[in-house]
Protein backbone atom coordinates (compact mmCIF):
# COMPACT_ATOMS: atom_id res chain seq x y z
CA UNK A 1 0.00 0.00 0.00
CA UNK A 2 1.39 3.41 -1.00
CA UNK A 3 2.06 6.03 1.64
CA UNK A 4 -0.83 8.47 2.09
CA UNK A 5 -0.28 12.10 1.14
CA UNK A 6 -0.58 14.85 3.72
CA UNK A 7 -3.98 15.79 2.25
CA UNK A 8 -5.22 12.20 2.44
CA UNK A 9 -4.16 11.92 6.09
CA UNK A 10 -5.71 15.28 6.90
CA UNK A 11 -9.07 14.69 5.22
CA UNK A 12 -9.34 10.93 5.40
CA UNK A 13 -9.69 10.72 1.61
CA UNK A 14 -8.58 7.45 0.02
CA UNK A 15 -7.02 7.08 -3.42
CA UNK A 16 -8.53 4.17 -5.36
CA UNK A 17 -7.03 3.37 -8.78
CA UNK A 18 -5.62 6.86 -9.09
CA UNK A 19 -8.97 8.55 -8.33
CA UNK A 20 -9.56 10.28 -5.04
CA UNK A 21 -12.58 9.14 -3.04
CA UNK A 22 -14.35 11.30 -0.48
CA UNK A 23 -13.78 10.33 3.16
CA UNK A 24 -16.41 8.27 4.91
CA UNK A 25 -19.06 10.35 6.58
CA UNK A 26 -19.09 10.13 10.32
CA UNK A 27 -22.09 8.44 11.87
CA UNK A 28 -23.30 11.82 13.09
CA UNK A 29 -24.96 13.92 10.37
CA UNK A 30 -26.14 17.51 10.25
CA UNK A 31 -29.65 16.22 10.89
CA UNK A 32 -28.40 14.62 14.11
CA UNK A 33 -26.89 17.96 15.12
CA UNK A 34 -30.20 19.70 14.45
CA UNK A 35 -32.05 17.07 16.53
CA UNK A 36 -29.58 17.57 19.36
CA UNK A 37 -30.10 21.34 19.23
CA UNK A 38 -33.88 20.87 19.28
CA UNK A 39 -33.59 18.61 22.36
CA UNK A 40 -31.61 21.22 24.29
CA UNK A 41 -33.84 24.12 23.27
CA UNK A 42 -36.35 23.42 26.06
CA UNK A 43 -33.76 22.86 28.79
CA UNK A 44 -32.60 25.49 31.24
CA UNK A 45 -29.13 26.89 31.05
CA UNK A 46 -26.83 26.47 34.03
CA UNK A 47 -25.71 29.72 35.59
CA UNK A 48 -21.96 30.09 36.13
CA UNK A 49 -20.89 31.14 39.61
CA UNK A 50 -17.92 31.90 41.82
CA UNK A 51 -18.30 30.77 45.44
CA UNK A 52 -15.76 31.64 48.11
CA UNK A 53 -15.57 32.34 51.82
CA UNK A 54 -14.19 35.03 54.05
CA UNK A 55 -13.76 34.71 57.79
CA UNK A 56 -17.43 35.29 58.57
CA UNK A 57 -19.36 34.81 55.33
CA UNK A 58 -19.80 32.85 52.12
CA UNK A 59 -19.94 34.94 48.95
CA UNK A 60 -21.59 33.86 45.69
CA UNK A 61 -21.04 35.89 42.51
CA UNK A 62 -22.64 35.40 39.12
CA UNK A 63 -23.00 37.39 35.90
CA UNK A 64 -26.66 38.10 35.24
CA UNK A 65 -26.35 40.94 32.74
CA UNK A 66 -29.56 41.52 30.82
CA UNK A 67 -31.79 40.02 33.52
CA UNK A 68 -34.41 42.28 35.07
CA UNK A 69 -34.72 42.00 38.89
CA UNK A 70 -38.34 40.81 38.56
CA UNK A 71 -37.09 37.92 36.37
CA UNK A 72 -34.67 36.72 39.06
CA UNK A 73 -35.55 34.45 41.99
CA UNK A 74 -33.03 33.66 44.74
CA UNK A 75 -34.08 31.04 47.29
CA UNK A 76 -31.93 30.16 50.28
CA UNK A 77 -32.01 27.71 53.15
CA UNK A 78 -29.36 27.25 55.81
CA UNK A 79 -27.27 24.99 53.57
CA UNK A 80 -28.56 25.45 50.01
CA UNK A 81 -29.03 28.31 47.56
CA UNK A 82 -30.94 28.31 44.25
CA UNK A 83 -30.74 31.09 41.70
CA UNK A 84 -33.36 30.95 38.96
CA UNK A 85 -34.04 33.49 36.25
CA UNK A 86 -34.83 34.25 32.67
CA UNK A 87 -33.02 36.38 30.12
CA UNK A 88 -35.40 37.57 27.40
CA UNK A 89 -34.11 37.71 23.84
CA UNK A 90 -34.60 40.75 21.68
CA UNK A 91 -36.81 39.80 18.77
CA UNK A 92 -35.14 39.89 15.37
CA UNK A 93 -37.24 39.67 12.24
CA UNK A 94 -34.98 37.31 10.31
CA UNK A 95 -32.76 34.64 11.90
CA UNK A 96 -30.66 34.60 8.70
CA UNK A 97 -29.40 38.11 9.53
CA UNK A 98 -27.14 36.72 12.27
CA UNK A 99 -23.48 36.06 11.61
CA UNK A 100 -22.76 34.67 15.10
CA UNK A 101 -25.10 33.70 17.96
CA UNK A 102 -23.28 32.87 21.19
CA UNK A 103 -25.27 34.63 23.90
CA UNK A 104 -27.59 32.53 26.05
CA UNK A 105 -31.25 33.55 26.09
CA UNK A 106 -33.98 31.85 28.07
CA UNK A 107 -34.37 30.30 31.51
CA UNK A 108 -31.40 29.42 33.68
CA UNK A 109 -30.86 28.13 37.19
CA UNK A 110 -28.19 26.96 39.55
CA UNK A 111 -28.43 25.19 42.89
CA UNK A 112 -25.40 25.31 45.14
CA UNK A 113 -24.89 23.23 48.24
CA UNK A 114 -23.15 25.45 50.75
CA UNK A 115 -20.12 24.12 52.64
CA UNK A 116 -21.40 25.57 55.91
CA UNK A 117 -24.75 26.66 57.33
CA UNK A 118 -25.64 30.31 56.93
CA UNK A 119 -27.84 32.82 58.73
CA UNK A 120 -30.75 33.12 56.31
CA UNK A 121 -32.19 36.24 57.99
CA UNK A 122 -28.96 38.21 57.56
CA UNK A 123 -28.27 37.20 53.93
CA UNK A 124 -27.97 39.99 51.37
CA UNK A 125 -28.30 40.11 47.56
CA UNK A 126 -26.91 42.99 45.50
CA UNK A 127 -26.73 43.53 41.72
CA UNK A 128 -24.00 45.84 40.42
CA UNK A 129 -23.33 46.34 36.69
CA UNK A 130 -24.78 42.92 35.80
CA UNK A 131 -22.95 41.09 38.61
CA UNK A 132 -25.11 39.41 41.25
CA UNK A 133 -23.39 39.30 44.63
CA UNK A 134 -24.86 37.23 47.46
CA UNK A 135 -23.38 37.76 50.91
CA UNK A 136 -24.30 34.90 53.22
CA UNK A 137 -23.17 35.22 56.86
CA UNK A 138 -21.91 31.95 58.33
CA UNK A 139 -23.52 30.51 61.43
CA UNK A 140 -20.99 30.15 64.20
CA UNK A 141 -21.75 26.77 65.75
CA UNK A 142 -18.89 27.12 68.24
CA UNK A 143 -20.26 30.36 69.68
CA UNK A 144 -21.77 29.86 73.10
CA UNK A 145 -23.75 32.16 75.31
CA UNK A 146 -25.03 31.86 78.84
CA UNK A 147 -28.73 32.01 79.57
CA UNK A 148 -29.83 33.56 82.79
CA UNK A 149 -32.42 31.44 84.55
CA UNK A 150 -35.38 33.39 85.81
CA UNK A 151 -37.90 32.30 88.38
CA UNK A 152 -41.51 32.65 87.45
Domain that holds residue 48: 43-90+102-137
Does the reported pTM lie above 0.85? no
Residue 95 — pLDDT band, cuts 50, 70, 90? confident
CATH number of the structural domain spanning residue 80: 2.60.40.790
Tally of domains in the chain: 1
What pLDDT, on a 0 to 100 scale, did the predictor assign at position 16?
58
| Mean pLDDT value across the chain | 78
Predicted confidence (pLDDT) at residue 78 exceeds the cutoff of 80: yes
**Contact residues for 112 (Cβ-Cβ < 8 A; gap 6+):** 49, 51, 60, 80, 81, 82, 83
Taking the C-alpha atoms of residue 123 and residue 9, their distance in angstroms, rounded to an integer, is 59
More confident residue, 46 or 77: 77
Amino acid sequence: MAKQSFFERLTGAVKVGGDEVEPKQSKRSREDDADWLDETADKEGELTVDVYQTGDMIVVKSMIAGVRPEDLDVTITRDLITIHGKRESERVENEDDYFVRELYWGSFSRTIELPQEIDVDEAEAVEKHGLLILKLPKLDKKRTSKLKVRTV
